[in-house]
């Protein structure tokens, strides 16, 4: 374990995240974890880590960090301006840094969230099974909060890479987003307007965070006679809530239970698109069956699983 980064400028919301905190949902502790699991996993594999090691999740604008030891880093996800000691460095590749270097990460040109990993993973105390930061619960990561100027982050033990690594492809993030969603659990409250929901374009509002992504567009009214809200039940990442104002909210990582109706649920393979959606982007929904969703989940799992092999063959 050694000191890794000193935070010179934290950026607006930079947090330590890993895969998430499971098995405490029923106690009101949300899963948390990386919003874009694809970019998160890539960052770790590129830096030579376990795929679930903790990394920094950077939101829209990045931090400036001084490196305190030699390490391999990898920056993945949203396409952010970035320099290492003043020179642009590539994303989706491992980059060797040395003690005393300055990593400066600027604004996202496309996408919304980037992941910065380093050899050995970010070391933070494991709280209830995870290093993920849950800011409103005050747990995980750096003292349960986003990074601040002057923080010193350390890294776990890990070997430097013998040769650099790269991913043979780079995901592109569009401002025209198609999300596949399975109707329910309360689709029977919206029989009259389901057609409108699945044929309209929505705009990502500025209030989008780790709890959820608010959309604005045609108002989805519930059927006459359907209740305004439900008795609180499980809320999951991907659930599309329709609150009484009829403007959808796609729920993300910080959820346990809630009392708003949910017209449909975005499939797991498409959640990274929500994580990367920028305010002003256009979102459309397409309906599919649970069987189709399971099929797509299997394909996606295989794709994720094969990432390590893809990196290995591209890095030879």
Angle at 120 between CA 119 and CA 124, to 5 degrees: 125
- Within residues 139-168, the interface with other proteins by CB under 8 A covers 139
Q: Does 54 bind other proteins (CB under 8 A)?
A: no
> Shortest Cβ distance from residue 33 to other proteins (Å)?
14
Which residues touch 40 (CB under 8 Å, ≥6 apart)? 17, 19, 34, 55, 57, 76, 77, 115
- Within residues 76-105, the interface with other proteins by CB under 8 A covers none
Shorter beta-carbon distance to other proteins: residue 89 or 300: 300
Q: Does 234 bind other proteins (CB under 8 A)?
A: yes
Shorter beta-carbon distance to other proteins: residue 126 or 312: 126
Shorter beta-carbon distance to other proteins: residue 125 or 280: 125
- Within residues 255-274, the interface with other proteins by CB under 8 A covers 256-258, 265
Q: Does 137 bind other proteins (CB under 8 A)?
A: yes
Between CA 145 and CA 153 the distance in angstroms is 13
Pairing of strands 282-287, 176-183: parallel
> Shortest Cβ distance from residue 244 to other proteins (Å)?
17
Q: Which tokens in the block code for residue 251?
A: 């729920």
Whether the link from the prior residue into 63 is cis, omega within 30° of 0, is no
Between CA 254 and CA 135 the distance in angstroms is 10
Q: Does 289 bind other proteins (CB under 8 A)?
A: no
Out of 26, 159, 162, 163, the only residue in the binding site for other proteins (CB under 8 A) is: 26
Out of 1, 290, 312, 314, the only residue in the binding site for other proteins (CB under 8 A) is: 290
Out of 128, 205, 226, 307, the only residue in the binding site for other proteins (CB under 8 A) is: 128
Selected range binding other proteins among 16-24, 52-60, 146-154, 242-250, rule: CB under 8 A = 16-24
> Shortest Cβ distance from residue 18 to other proteins (Å)?
16
Q: Does 27 bind other proteins (CB under 8 A)?
A: yes
Q: Check: CB of residue 79 under 8 Å from CB of residue 113.
A: no
Task: Give 145: exposed, middle or buried? Use CB within 10 Å, 0-12, 13-18, 19+.
Answer: middle
Selected range binding other proteins among 210-218, 227-235, 245-253, 275-283, rule: CB under 8 A = 227-235
The total number of residues shown for the chain amounts to: 316
Q: Which tokens in the block code for residue 103?
A: 């990593």
Q: In sequence order, which ranges of the chain are alpha helices (DSSP H)? A: 37-46, 194-199, 271-275, 290-305, 307-314
Q: Which residues bind other proteins (CB under 8 A)?
A: 22-29, 127-128, 136-139, 185, 231-234, 236, 256-258, 265, 290, 293-294, 297-298, 301
């Amino acid at each position: 374990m050694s000191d890794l980064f000193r935070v010179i400028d934290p950026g607006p919301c930079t947090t330590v995240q890993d895969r998430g905190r499971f098995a405490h949902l029923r106690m009101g502790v949300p899963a948390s974890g990386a919003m874009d699991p694809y970019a998160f996993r890539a960052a770790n594999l590129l830096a030579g880590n376990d795929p679930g090691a903790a990394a920094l999740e950077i939101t829209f604008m990045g931090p400036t960090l001084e490196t305190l030891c030699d390490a391999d880093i990898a920056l993945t996800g949203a396409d952010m301006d970035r320099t290492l000691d003043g020179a642009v460095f590539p994303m989706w590749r491992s980059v060797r840094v040395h003690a005393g270097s300055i990593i400066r990460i600027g604004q996202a040109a496309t996408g919304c969230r980037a992941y910065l990993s380093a050899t050995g993973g970010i070391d933070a105390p494991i709280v209830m099974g995870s290093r993920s930061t849950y800011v409103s619960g005050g747990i995980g990561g750096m003292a349960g909060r986003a990074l601040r100027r002057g923080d010193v982050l350390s890294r776990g033990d890990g070997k430097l890479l013998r040769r650099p690594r790269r991913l043979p492809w780079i995901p592109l993030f569009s401002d025209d987003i198609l999300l596949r969603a399975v109707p329910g659990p309360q689709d029977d409250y919206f029989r009259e307007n389901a057609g409108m929901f699945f044929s309209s374009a929505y705009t990502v509002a500025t209030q989008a965070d780790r709890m959820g992504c608010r959309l604005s567009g045609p108002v989805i009214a519930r059927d006459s006679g359907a209740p305004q809200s439900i008795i609180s039940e499980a809320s999951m990442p991907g659930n599309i809530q329709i609150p009484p104002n009829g403007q959808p909210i796609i729920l993300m990582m910080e959820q346990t239970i809630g009392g708003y109706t949910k017209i449909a649920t975005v499939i797991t393979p498409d959640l990274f698109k929500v994580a990367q959606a920028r305010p002003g982007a256009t979102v459309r929904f397409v309906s599919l069956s649970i069987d189709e969703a399971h099929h797509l989940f299997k394909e996606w799992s295989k794709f994720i699983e094969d990432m390590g092999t893809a990196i290995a063959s591209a890095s030879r």
